[in-house]
Amino acid sequence: MAQIAFYTDDLPQSRMTRALAAQALQRAAEARGHQLRVLQSSTAADLSGADTLLWASDSAPPAHSGTVMRTSPAELIADAAGVLDRAGLGNTGAVNTSGTTVQTVSAPVTPTSVSAAPATPAPAAATVSSTGPSVVGVTSCPTGIAHTFMAAEGLEGGAKALGRTVKIETQGSVGAGNALSAEEIAGADVVIIAADTNVDLSRFAGKRVYQTGTKPAIRDGQAVVQRALDEAPVYGAATGGDFVAQAAAAKAAKNEAAAGQGLGGEIYKHLMTGVSHMLPLVVAGGLLIALAFAFGGISAEGPFAQALMTIGGGTGAFGLFVPVLAGYIAYSIADRPGLAPGLVGGMMAVSTGSGFLGGIVAGFLAGYIVKWLNNGIRLPRTLEGLKPTLLLPLLGTMFTGLLMIFVLGGPMASALTAATNWLNSLGNTSASVLGAVIGAMMAFDMGGPINKAAYTFSTGLIDSKVYGPIAAAMAAGMTPPLALFFATLIFKNRFTPDEQEAGKAAGVLGISFITEGAIPFAARDPLRVIPSLMAGSAVAGAISMAAGCLLRAPHGGIFVLAIPGAVTNLPMYIVAILAGTLVSTVMLGLLKKPLERNERIVAQEESVATPSHE
């Protein structure tokens, strides 16, 4: 067992990346039976007892008698296991039954303190039985940021509480982290998929696979692990080895495992898979168009401005986002055979003028047509290979394209035109009401179905050059974590020390338009926190829409505001965000009760007993 020390710069704008990198490194170290310490300072850090120093900073590492390896937070998030392997820290060959000890070492501030005493390892959080069944899993959410890693943490904690060894792969926004090897999958007794997007299950054929969403894993990871051990069916057992048939069986198993979601939950998951693949194109296209206007005026004049408009506009990124939305909705429903029909259906939606509404319809149409064809076509075993490579893409593309051109394209185009004209004709009062509704929806469940419905509606309208709703959605999505940041500073007697510390991170997430930063507070006190946040978000959305604020990119938070042309009526947009934050902050102070003296004492003792490992 090796002692590993890890350091990266602790800057406010990179704190979340730092935490995710440390978390990925923790899991990779645990799987190999090593101990990890996270250092807080780069000056004269206490490295006594450390065999290897992983240095993720632009500054020069301190002198160290052991191995020193330079890396980066992004590299660790993407492949922490690979970093350890390159550092010569492969599997020790034994299970680390005590779990990884992660220490936060506060190094002395001055170089004269180098001789500080070695840090004492913290006691293990849980004892994992080496004889218990092995649990592996995958977590994924549409944005690949907060819910992905929160669900992984919930599953890890739940498995360890049940005495199981565990490893969870996170499919985040920067790629797969803590990736599962073929040997680990083969040795596992159960596989847990906690995802709100489609996850490729082909590598888990023949294993017991339990599927659910990220929220159950976040709320009660132990219960999810226990259900998986008790109920998980064998994936692909009822098929004859055909990939498409196995995919169909996996879809059926997913719907059965997602208890209580039903048809609505299935539709939501497919839609979110499409949205998560569409977003990068909308973000890139919107910002490139804004830059084209900044460099070339409202007509984007000049070679450079025209080039930016070509790259980001209808012949570039924006021209692809509806087909990609449709393609990955179909992929989520019917797996790989549904991708080509979905992409072509999305192109037909663009050509018929039905926009993102037509793209959504085309995606579901293509997916379910291919799924129906796969279930209905029966071929001799020797010809089964023709289905996924020839028959399903051909027939699915033909049927989807014909239906979009001759049946659905026209009516969907008319519906989109009517909606666009109505939105463009709204007066200040009507616009403020719509903005308030969008804002309240953004804060109601913060990443859940209602939040995503408002965000998807607003994002899709960008294709029709309607930029008001997405401006309201982003302003409303920024205010909840920002309000909690200010509330924990102003009304300290209403929050525990842990919540006050979490408020700082919520502020960073708020300016980045990551509404999930408010979830821990809402979960602890939903009846007071959620109404407060909804009120402020409704105010932000109403002011944004009434003032005619327009936003050409659907994400980026405060960092987008500095790009010329990205926001129309920027002063009032800032006013909207500040006003919404103020309303929520004041309401939190009014509705949340001050903690009793004994509650504060208990919270302080718990905070000291379980220090943060940020």
| Strand (E) or helix (H) holding 177 | strand 175-177
The residue written with tokens 């930063």 in the block is: 517
The percent helix, strand, coil of the chain (3-state, each to 5) is 60, 10, 30
Residues contacting 256, CB < 8 A, separation 6+? 233
Q: Is 313 left (phi over 0), alpha (psi -120 to 50) or beta?
A: beta
Count Cα atoms within 13 angstroms, Cβ side, for 262.
2
CA 413 – CA 425 distance, rounded (Å): 18
Closest CA to 217 of 145, 150, 262, 167: 150
CA distance 29 to 52: 12
Are 354 and 413 in contact, with CB atoms under 8 Å apart?
yes
The rounded distance, in Å, linking the Cα atoms of 328 and 131 is 41
Active-site annotation holder among 20, 128, 141, 473: 141
102-105, strands of its sheet edge to edge: 67-70, 52-56, 3-8, 35-39, 102-105
Tokens (6 digits) for 140: 């994924």
| 603 neighbors 595 (Cβ within 8 angstroms) | yes
**DSSP bridge pairs for 5:** 37, 53
Nearest to 195, CA basis, from 174, 233, 168: 168
Q: Please give the torsion angle defined by the CA atoms of residues 471, 476, 477 and 481, in that order, rounded to the nearest 10 degrees.
A: 140
Active site residue 141: yes
Angle between helix axes 317-334 and 355-376 (nearest 10 degrees) is: 30
Segment holding 140, helix H or strand E: strand 135-140
Residues 29, 81: contact at Cβ < 8 Å? no
In residues, how long is the chain?
614
Question: Does residue 53 sit in helix, strand or coil?
Answer: strand
Q: What is the distance between the alpha carbons of residues 585 and 583, in angstroms, rounded to a whole number?
A: 5
3-state DSSP assignment of residue 209: strand
Structure tokens at 44: 């004269």
Cβ pair 474, 439 in contact under 8 A: no
What residues contact residue 533 under an 8 Å CB cut-off, 6+ apart?
443, 446, 479, 480, 483, 484, 518, 522, 584
How many Å is the Cα radius of gyration of the chain? 26
Give, for 585, the enclosing helix (H) or strand (E).
Answer: helix 570-591
Buried b / exposed e along 488-514 (16+ C-beta atoms within 10 A): beebbebbbbbbbebbebbbbbbbbbb
Confirm if 200 and 254 have CB atoms less than 8 A apart: no
Residues with a catalytic annotation lie at: 141
